[in-house]
Structure 1
């Protein structure tokens, strides 16, 4: 407010000075007495008129240290309108002086006054900006980070402009890198292209680069991964703009920047969905997601919401998780018809009442216990939740004529060596058995680990790094298949679209990744050096844990589908009587000794070979 008052005082002084100087220029510095009198009479109305229009055009509301062309245009508008009103005032409100003569300013005076007003009112504001820039620049030179931008395209041009406009970003842009040789040594917004990707380590060393921004939103995953791997050797902090398909509004600006994460290194190209097929069984249908508050379940809810279901039923036993999903969907899909259902799949009566009330047409079953070591120590809970709970859902789907049921399975169900994997394999058996006797189409979708899911190694490693280490890996040779949560959810939905019933779909997980390499990459991306700043310790394989996972049954060949990332096992003929008798036995044994439970699991899942 104090600065606004000062600006108004300056404007008044400059306006009076500009009008007086305009008269001096018009009359060769020899102003007639009658014009002096008219100046005295007109100066107050002129000042009031101009100040009013300065306010109208927000000249006292702008933050002038960020002044740009828009503010200059506002000054021109204000001065122009003010001068038009002043000309009208001068013409119609004449004043009678000696010898009954009327006086008004010559039009030349108004033209000169307009030019001087723009120069003075604009000049004082832009001088203020320059002084601010200079003082801020001097203040921040010590703590600004030396920045290298990868990519010399539209995204980089936008970032450079924003960095220069807003000094709060604390960056000195040192240069650009681009593989296009025609751009070498060219300037983008005053910043030079210094070389290609192979020059990054040299440039970072020679120019003392502290931070790198990868501004290549349209680049494919492979290209980004190669560049990130080069940048890792520089020990600079890495940031990136997400891919175009990740940005909902498509706008490029500094707010989109995020740290480079492990998904950027392990992720793959965007999943291409057949929306027409998905729309046929999702759009305007009542869809249920069990375990809707979990990592996969919540992402299924997000993806399903995009296809406009008639109603989305989100079922989960943990109210905190499902509450977060509810709030997110309220914000992003405010018109989505949804119901939040707090219930356990173990409670058959509760499930039946839910199915009877809502009549879901498609069910995605993501509710399960999934932690291998915990289920090894608590096999009864794996049986109650994963086996009996899934049976309850399968039975309700049959009874209430659900069109399609999609089971979320795991690579650990293949030749399982642990209770969790064996319980999920029995779920697959039940899915195929129900498909034989029911009008509902039952299918299972099998995939490996998802990056960043609850309980996965990524969040654990991040916590360990945040505490200064050590990062714990069970074995130097252990490896796993990985995909991102959105990719897994999208492929599950796509698999449901092409299912006819009884299939076990297997998702293309790419190549397996060594967990120790994952740990090293996370340490590096966090700005540390593995085994120097953060130690890696090997703790030994946990109970039931494999060195590697398999994605298909060895004795069954996979068949390709219409989607290049989805394969299918042949439907197996499973006797429903076997399932019913097994469930009866599981119900009887869950309160028995742990060894008795595991023996029954071994009997019912022939491929289960527990580790001694």
Structure 2
């Protein structure tokens, strides 16, 4: 319970501010009238207190309170506070004039005083606030004289806000700005001078004894950010950046936090902005189930569902540690939601029936899959079992449970597949298409390219190779891939699911593909190293099942735009339901016998467009038979 001393301590500063402001009102009103009437030969009597002055103080005090002048603190007074003061003074003048007109018809009230009153009062109210803030900032700088000296790259709104935040916390001392705008040269922002251009950072950092560089350019494109990072690297100093507003709003960065420059900041593709209103309208209040909930995509998908209105989330995961970790993170960030943990293999019909019975979901996101291309070339049986047969099990269970929407998370490798991953994912798409019916579960397929920093992706591999001193291994100097971030991939999944078409395949217009050698080069630079000098890049040749270039669109799928400018909808290619059912039964039988030869033949027959690159050997410890797909010459797509 709060003691009277605590309440008194909290009220005292505000009472002092109110007293100060009313004293300034009295001083302005008295001072202006004495100046105005003092020039007359016989000035009227002007008492220090009267009913008229009481009305002035009452009227102006009520306006101060109503405008919200006492909700702010002098310590953080700024231009918006001055504007608020001006509004209070102007409205106060109108209220005073009305009150005195009703009281005495403005007798002995000078019209000149009425004109000068709001400006004079604004000066006497605003100046002490700004002086107090300047004094506190100066005292903070003196107290933190040993704080880290930083140089800020970018003198725009983000840089100005950063200086205010840094002064408030006192951990860092801004010593200057760098900006390429000519109009900024020689000016000061928040009292901090603009010392030169961004390209001069090495020389100016040395002259100012800066210890840290901060990039305050949240709206800079990838090319500009690459140029800035290269300039920062030449200094040999550590550098950070102000997070983008989208990262703050999505909870990936904290307000005022300085983050490391991430690889996605340097790639040449702007993130796709989702239609959050449509997503929340579709997702709000729903119960959802996510398979593979402990994986990179699955765990982020759970967080996105929690953030945008789901009331219950069921997590199906075979890895007990991943399941526990994901569920604990969700409970920490969203404690008011209901969570259901199901430990087990989603390819087990009993597991899925149990999970669907517990959660009663209105939407199921099937994120569980194997996705490592070279590994799956030698693990054909597990690729088929997990990516095809488990998808069949989950999809049929959802249809039998009358789930509203089933979302299959697929890959761009399912377009003209040349590897086991692409072929199994394409067959999974065909299974969902064969199960679709206007009177049952809505089946949606979402395709996207490589996901930055997902488990097993190239980014963590490069990061580990750089940490060990290299070399960084790239398969081919010409190889390219489409990339997106994990949150962006999950936003695409939710956006496509919310569009509402009963049976559809959605893909993202991902812009231009990124050369993997450029990705390696930028990651080495982000680590403070120089490619070729500190860390070598070695080209190892394409691995089994890999293409030089991925394609996003199939020639026969007739893509058309949707309500979202970056999401395209494909017209599904026709499938024969009976043939799909027969193929699944044959694959189940071959899988039960671990017959990789039969699995290879069946997969090739079920997915006619599957054109394998080379051959895949039998998995160690499995059949001794070499699994050979029909070979063909390598090609560039």
Same fold (TM over 0.5): yes
- Which position in structure 1 is the counterpart of 2:599? 597
Distance of aligned partners of 1:202 and 1:501 in 2 relative to their CA distance in 1, 3 Å threshold: farther
- Which position in structure 2 is the counterpart of 1:528? 529
Distance of aligned partners of 1:571 and 1:560 in 2 relative to their CA distance in 1, 3 Å threshold: same
Deviation at 1:433?
A: 1.1
CA distance in 1, matches of 2:234, 2:183: 26
Quick check: 571-580 or 270-279, which moved more? 270-279
Quick check: 203-212 or 402-411, which moved more? 203-212
- Which position in structure 2 is the counterpart of 1:549? 550
Is it true that 1:151 corresponds to 2:154 in the alignment? yes
Give the secondary structure class of the aligned counterpart of 1:266: coil
Is it true that 1:426 corresponds to 2:418 in the alignment? no
Contact 1:150 1:214 in 2 (8 A): yes
Contact 1:159 1:254 in 2 (8 A): no
Deviation at 1:227?
A: 3.9
- Which position in structure 2 is the counterpart of 1:460? 461
Give the secondary structure class of the aligned counterpart of 2:565: coil
Quick check: 329-338 or 407-416, which moved more? 329-338
Contact 2:269 2:512 in 1 (8 A): no
Is it true that 1:364 corresponds to 2:365 in the alignment? yes
CA distance in 2, matches of 1:543, 1:336: 44
Distance of aligned partners of 1:145 and 1:358 in 2 relative to their CA distance in 1, 3 Å threshold: closer
CA distance in 1, matches of 2:162, 2:561: 44
- Which position in structure 1 is the counterpart of 2:612? 610
Deviation at 1:225?
A: 5.4
CA distance in 2, matches of 1:317, 1:533: 41
Deviations 1:24-59 (A, max 9, x none): xxxxxxxxxxxxxxxxxxxxxxxxxxxxxxxxxxxx
Give the secondary structure class of the aligned counterpart of 1:315: strand
Distance of aligned partners of 1:425 and 1:493 in 2 relative to their CA distance in 1, 3 Å threshold: same
Distance of aligned partners of 1:561 and 1:231 in 2 relative to their CA distance in 1, 3 Å threshold: farther
Unaligned runs of 5+ in 2: 1-73, 76-134, 615-637
Distance of aligned partners of 1:294 and 1:132 in 2 relative to their CA distance in 1, 3 Å threshold: closer
Contact 1:149 1:177 in 2 (8 A): yes
- The 5 Å alignment of 1:461-540 reads 461-540=462-541
CA distance in 2, matches of 1:585, 1:569: 29
Contact 2:313 2:359 in 1 (8 A): no
Deviation at 1:232?
A: 5.1
Deviations 1:162-184 (A, max 9, x none): 65677755xx6442122443322
Aligned pairs, how many?
480
Distance of aligned partners of 1:477 and 1:252 in 2 relative to their CA distance in 1, 3 Å threshold: closer
CA distance in 1, matches of 2:346, 2:560: 33
Deviation at 1:494?
A: 0.5
Deviation at 1:130?
A: 8.8
- The 5 Å alignment of 1:99-114 reads none
Deviation at 1:131?
A: 13
Quick check: 562-571 or 323-332, which moved more? 323-332
- Which position in structure 1 is the counterpart of 2:259? 258
Contact 1:302 1:329 in 2 (8 A): yes
Deviation at 1:385?
A: 0.7
CA distance in 1, matches of 2:305, 2:312: 10
- Which position in structure 1 is the counterpart of 2:243? 242
- Which position in structure 1 is the counterpart of 2:351? 350
Deviation at 1:578?
A: 1.6
- Which position in structure 2 is the counterpart of 1:17? none
Give the secondary structure class of the aligned counterpart of 1:506: strand
Deviation at 1:191?
A: 2.7
Contact 2:559 2:570 in 1 (8 A): yes
Contact 1:443 1:499 in 2 (8 A): no
Give the secondary structure class of the aligned counterpart of 1:503: strand
Deviation at 1:347?
A: 0.5
Contact 2:415 2:553 in 1 (8 A): yes
Distance of aligned partners of 1:573 and 1:556 in 2 relative to their CA distance in 1, 3 Å threshold: closer
Contact 1:235 1:524 in 2 (8 A): no
Deviation at 1:158?
A: 4.9
- Which position in structure 2 is the counterpart of 1:327? 328
Distance of aligned partners of 1:417 and 1:234 in 2 relative to their CA distance in 1, 3 Å threshold: farther
Is it true that 1:310 corresponds to 2:311 in the alignment? yes
- Which position in structure 2 is the counterpart of 1:7? none
Deviation at 1:272?
A: 2.8
- Which position in structure 2 is the counterpart of 1:575? 576
Distance of aligned partners of 1:417 and 1:168 in 2 relative to their CA distance in 1, 3 Å threshold: same
Deviation at 1:230?
A: 5.2
Contact 1:146 1:209 in 2 (8 A): yes
Unaligned runs of 5+ in 1: 1-68, 71-125
CA distance in 1, matches of 2:478, 2:259: 31
Contact 2:384 2:424 in 1 (8 A): yes
Deviation at 1:189?
A: 4.4
CA distance in 2, matches of 1:278, 1:254: 25
CA distance in 2, matches of 1:488, 1:475: 26
- Which position in structure 1 is the counterpart of 2:299? 298
TM-score, normalising length from structure 2?
0.69
Give the secondary structure class of the aligned counterpart of 1:352: helix
CA distance in 2, matches of 1:131, 1:301: 43
CA distance in 1, matches of 2:279, 2:168: 45
